[in-house]
Every structure is written in structure tokens, then in C-alpha cells.
Amino acid sequence: MSTYSLSDGLASGAPRLSRAPLLTSWVRESGVGILASVAWIAFGLSCLWWEDVGDWSRTHSLGIAAFVIAAVALFGTVGADYLGSAGRALRQRAPWLVVLGVVLTLWEVATAKFAWLPLPFFPPPQSIIEVYTDDLPKLLDSVLASVKLQLGGYLIGATVGFLTGVSIGWSRAVGYWVHPVLRFIGPLPATAWLPIAFFTFPSSWSASTFLIALATGFPVTVLTWSGVASVSNAYYDVARTLGAKPSFLVLKVAIPAALPHVFVGLFMGLGSSFAVLVVAEMIGVKAGLGWYLQWAQGWAAYANMYAALIVMSLLCSGAITLLFSIRDRLLVWQKGTVKW
Amino acid sequence: MVAATALAEIDAHLAAGAALDIEQVSHAFDIDGAEVPVLSDVSISVEPGEFVALLGPSGCGKSTLLRLVAGLDKPRSGTLREDEARITRPYPSRVVVFQDPTLFPWRTVWDNVALGLEAQGILKSQRHRVDAALDLVGLASFRNAYPHQLSGGMAQRVALARALVNDPKILILDEPLGKLDSLTRITMQAELVSLWQRKGFTTLLVTHDAEEALVLANRVIVFSDRPARVKADIRVDRPYPRHRGDPYLADLRRQILGLLGLDATW
């Protein structure tokens, strides 16, 4: 399958490079890391050089921190060969470090120093740091409330969705009754239930749990069902001739074969349940990151909003990473059969 | 290649072949509301331990007959018996090896072979039988591999081990070598014969290859075009291992091809 092209020849053109000065290869390996260091020094200088146009308490610390990062980038790059895998990881991420440093410098200059961007709406980096240090307890409470609500609703929705999906995929009778209901209710965005849910459920917490479970349950049900329904009859034939009872066919044939589909459903459910979580917190629940965002907006505390948004995106991407790593562990047999 | 101890293990569980009686079996499919007959009044009586090859034109209904013998489908009319007991559902004394190995991709080789024992709930006390079956097909070193890591021939060997671990009384082979390359095929034909000779199970082999039927079986049944009827029942009285160039077999082969309407070509 391998084709030989000119670029291959250049990349592996060792004989030609052997006479080239050591400097060139050094620059090629470490240049980006050094550039990253320069970018972060620029960021640090941009913090300390000019006076702030507003009153922020963390400008000085942020500048120092930028210099520390610049130093780490520099020494990490120069000494990468002695740092093992950490050194390799740093080299790999160096281009991103450059971009981050440049963006932060521009952001700093455009907001805190010259106010090119209108000020209360575009807070400088140090004011976001200020939120993390000064408003930490409230932010942590919100994170905890969001995680609790999301986890509860998601687990209930995923479990119910999985069991429903397997049942309608397996049993014609269950399919007859559940399928039309699913067709009718499923496509409705879970947020449409919001007004009804909040006055029918005893608490806003149970109402939100229900909505998150609903948003998770629909895609999980549909994909589990299609996964079970698409299992080749040949597998059942083999298992039956070997003496398998119906319970074995469900647990050891249908479910493992459907698992790749189930994980697609779990992934989709995760995405739509995040949306419901934030909306539910903004409207009904008096806790969580969605509520924090709403509260910050009420006080025109824009730095707090950005801070909460950053935390939220870290949590969401963390949840998806976690789901993927569980999938990779359970579906290790797929490696080599599908493009991973 | 095969460990002697493994053989002894397997032989300890040795179950001799069962008799199979197919009595006036007819079967049909419903395709778009129309009834399409596939088997018409088929009667075959197989002695315990016989190796019977079923030969016929493609799509004539041989595989359908195998599904009936396995108990996967019920015939429209007629009865099938294993040792006088009527066949109504699948049972591990009659195991099928299909044309595709149909290994479960989420299970390792060992877990695939263990499938039957696990399904019957006896795996815990019988784990050694899985190891023995893997030894028997020479794949002990692949026990932890996943099916996608195996070649076609290896996968079919695993499928064979998965069948043999149940000590079937009737082994049902639905063109199991059909998709293999010719070298692997010849090797596996020899392995099949030696397994059959050693274990004594009754074997039913569907094939569309007259030569394969003659090298392996001691009885070849030739079917007509759909709906399948028994056209000829030929005894192959030659000792094993058989030689492909044997003039006796070559003569039989010409006869069989004639029955299948291919005499002009040969």
C-alpha cells in the first residue's frame, strides 16, 4: 500500500542532512518551544508594562505567572531530551502554547491596557483569574450542584433508555406498545416540557432530573433498539444450535453486538442533556453553573460569566472524554475492525 | 501438531455418532405471498457414524435441509429423528458449522470456543474441554486473539473447535470450506476426515464440489434442482486417506457431474 513520493525522500534524506550544521536541526526541534516562551514573556510584559485602565488586583500575579510559564516552556524545550515523555509532550503542544501566548497578549492589551474592546462586556484575563480566586466557594458549589443533577438525570435516562431499547429490539409485543409512544414523544425537545415539569413535579430538582433523563433517554433508546435489531441472525443461529436459551441470546449475543450503537446513543444523549441542564438551571433550579451564569448576568458581573463558561466547557468535554475512555475499554475488540 | 494428552481428554468424552432419519420431508418458503417449494418428499436414512455428503445445484435447498436437521426451522411436512427422538428444536448434540465462521467478534478465540459450554451452563467445570478443542485444531497459541486477527482458514478452524467442544453426535457442515483458498481447503479436508475417524460422529456435509464430496464422504447424495429431490444415493467404498487421482473416484465424479447436468463439459 505504500507509495513512494518525493516528500518521503526529503523527510528521510538523512545523507544530505548529515553535513548540515547541528544548529539547523536544533532550531527545527526546539524553535517552536522557544517561540512559545517568547510569546508568554510578551504576555507577562504586556501585563506589567502599562498601567491598567481599571481596578484589578491580580494583574501583577498574572504577569509573574506568565513569566513562570515562559520559563517552563524554555527549559522544558531545551532539556526535552532529559525529560522523557514530559519533554515529548511539551514539544508536541508547543505550537498551541505559542498561539495561546499570542492570543492572551492581544486580549490583555485590547482590554486591560487600552480598552479597545468595550470594558464591562470584555473583561481582561486577570479579572477572570480574580473570579477563580475570590469567588471560588460559590463557583465550587455551583459545579457540585450541576454535576449532581447531571449525573443523576443522565444515569437514570441512560439506564431506562438502554432497557427500553433492548426490550423493543427484542420483543415484538413491547415494540407494538412502546414504539408509537416513542415516535410521538421522543422528537419533542426535552426543554418543551419545562413549564409543565416545573409545576407537576414536587421539586425543581426532581423536575430537572426528569428532563435530563428524558433528553438522555430518547437517543439511547433509539440507538440501542436499532443496534439490537441489526444483529445478524447468523449469530442467533450459532448460539441456538450450541444450546443457548433466550436469556443467553439477549445478554450474550444481542447486547454485546449492539454495544457500539449504544455508545453512539450515550454520546448523543450526553450532548442534549447538557443543553437541558443549563436551561433548567437558568429557569428553575436555584443552584448550578447555569444558575451562576444567570446570577452573574443579573449583577452585570461579566468576568464571572466567562469564568463559569470556561468551567462548564471543561466539565462537558471532561464528561465526553470519560465516556469515550469507557467505550474504548469495553469495545477493545473493535480495534482493527473499524476505523478507531 | 496435536498434543496426545489433549486427544485423550477429548476421547474421554467421546460420543459415538447418532442415527439420523429424514422421513418424507417437504418444505417451502413464502416469498411475497407465493409459496416456493424447496424440498419435496426427501427421505434419507443415515447410519450412526456415516459421513454423508449432500451435493446439488446452487440454491436447490440443501442448506434448508441442514437447518431442519439442526432444528433451526420446522418442516412443513414429514419428520426428522435423531436416534428415534423427533427433532423439534436445536440441541447441542447436533452442531452446525456454517459457510461463514460467524465467530462473535467481541469474544476472544477461547471465549468463542467456550460458547456452547457457557450457554449450557457447564463451562465452570469443563474449562479443560475448551483448551482441548483448541489444541485439536492447532490454535492453542491464539486463545487470546480476537476473530479479526485471524485468517479465513484459522477462523473456520475456530468455528470447528466451537462445534467439536460440545461432542456432537451429528456434525452438520454447511459448505464450511467453501470460502477458503484451495491449499487451506485441502489441508482442512484431511483434518476433517481424521477428526471424524477419531471421534466417530455422524457427519452431514453440504457442498457443491463433487471432488470434495468424494474425497471426504462414504456416501454421496445428489439432489435435483429446486424443489430438491433425492436424485441419486451413491456409496463411496474406498479406504481413507483417499487419493484425488484415484480412477475409481474420477469415474464416480464423472457420473455425478452427469447427474448434475454437466456431462457435456467433462
User: Three-state secondary structure along B80-145?
Assistant: EEECCEECCCCCCCEEEECCCCCCCCCCCHHHHHCHHHHHCCCCCCCHHHHHHHHHHCCCHHHCCC
- Is A63 in contact with A48 (CB distance < 8 Å)? yes
Query: Which among A242, A336, A337 has the least Cβ separation from residue B119?
Result: A242
List, as ranges, residues 118-157 from B with C-beta within 8 Å of A.
Answer: 118-120, 146, 148-149
Taking CB atoms within 8 Å and a gap of at least 24, the contacts of A182-187 are A182/A218, A182/A221, A182/A222, A186/A218, A186/A221, A186/A222, A187/A218
Residue B220, chain A, CB below 8 Å: the answer is: no
Contact assessment for residue B253 and residue B262, using Cβ atoms and an 8 Å cutoff: no
Q: Is the pLDDT of residue A1 over 70?
A: no
Q: Is residue A42 pLDDT above 60, yes or no?
A: yes
Q: Are B48 and B111 in contact, with CB atoms under 8 Å apart?
A: no
**From the candidates B115, B150, B170, which should be mutated to test the interface with A, based on the most A CB atoms within 10 A?**
B115
pLDDT at position A114: 85
CA angle B252/B254/B207 to nearest 5° reads 75
Contact check, Cβ <8 Å, A243/B70: no
Name the more confident of B134 and A80. Answer: B134
* Cα-trace Rg, chain B: 18
In this prediction, residue A337 carries a pLDDT of: 65
CATH 1.10.3720.10 for the A136-334 domain, yes or no: yes
pLDDT in tens, A193-243: 888 888 899 888 899 999 999 999 999 999 999 999 999 999 999 999 998
Q: Which residues contact A112 (CB under 8 A, 6 or more apart)?
A: A47, A52, A53, A54, A56, A59, A124, A125, A126
What's residue B265's pLDDT?
56
B81 DSSP β-pair partners: B21, B86
Confidence of residue A18 (pLDDT cuts 50, 70, 90): low
Of A248, A331, A337, the CB nearest to B119: A248
Point out the residue among B98, B146, B166 whose CB comes nearest to the CB of A333.
B146
Domains of chain B: 17-104+152-259 (3.40.50.300)
- Mean pLDDT throughout A111-127? 86
B241 cis-preceded (ω within 30 degrees of 0): yes
Can you tell me the mean pLDDT for A311-318?
92
Provide the pLDDT for residue B81.
85
Could you give the strand order of the β-sheet that contains B230-235, starting from the edge strand earlier in sequence?
Answer: B94-97, B170-174, B202-207, B51-55, B219-223, B230-235
Torsion, Cα of A120, A126, A127, A132 (10° steps):
150
- Closest residue, chain A, to B99 (C-alpha): A234
Interface contact B162, partner A, CB < 8 A: yes
Interface residue B90 vs chain A (CB under 8 A): yes
How many Cβ contacts (< 8 angstroms) between chains A and B? 69
Asked, as a colleague might, if the bond just before A260 is cis with ω within 30 of 0, I would say: no
Instruction: Answer whether A253 touches B (CB < 8 Å).
Output: yes
pLDDT of residue A157: 95
pLDDT band for position A70 (50/70/90)? very high
Kindly state the helix (H) or strand (E) to which residue A154 belongs, with its residue range.
Answer: helix A136-170
H or E segment and range at residue B256? helix B247-259
pLDDT digits (tens, 9 = 90+) for B106-158: 999 999 999 989 988 888 888 888 998 888 888 889 989 999 888 888 898 89
Integer Cα distance of B149 and A337 in angstroms: 9
- Cell 464422504 maps to which residue? B217
SS3 B40: strand
- pLDDT tens-digit series, residues A247-293: 999 999 999 999 999 999 999 999 999 999 988 888 888 888 989 98
- The residue that leads in pLDDT, A50 or B261, is A50
**CA closest to B94 among chain A residues:** A241
Mean pLDDT estimate for chain A: 86
Mutate to test the interface with B, among A241, A261, A334, A340 (most CBs of B within 10 A): A241
What residues of chain B score a pLDDT lower than 50?
A: 1-2, 7-14, 266
Residues of A in contact with B104 (CB under 8 A): 235, 238, 253, 256-257
**How far is the C-alpha of B111 from the C-alpha of B156, rounded, in Å?**
15
Q: Is B100 on the interface with A (CB under 8 A)?
A: yes
Q: Residue A334 pLDDT more than 70?
A: yes
On whether the CB atoms of residues A110 and A116 are closer than 8 A, the answer is yes
Q: Which residue from B20, B13, B170 is spatially nearest to B94, judged by alpha carbons?
A: B170
3-state SS assignment for residue B157: helix
Tell me if A252 and B119 make a contact (CB, 8 A cut-off).
Answer: yes
Q: Are A287 and A145 in contact (CB under 8 A)?
A: yes
Give the per-residue pLDDT at A338: 63
Comparing alpha-carbon positions, the chain A residue that sits nearest to B167 is A242
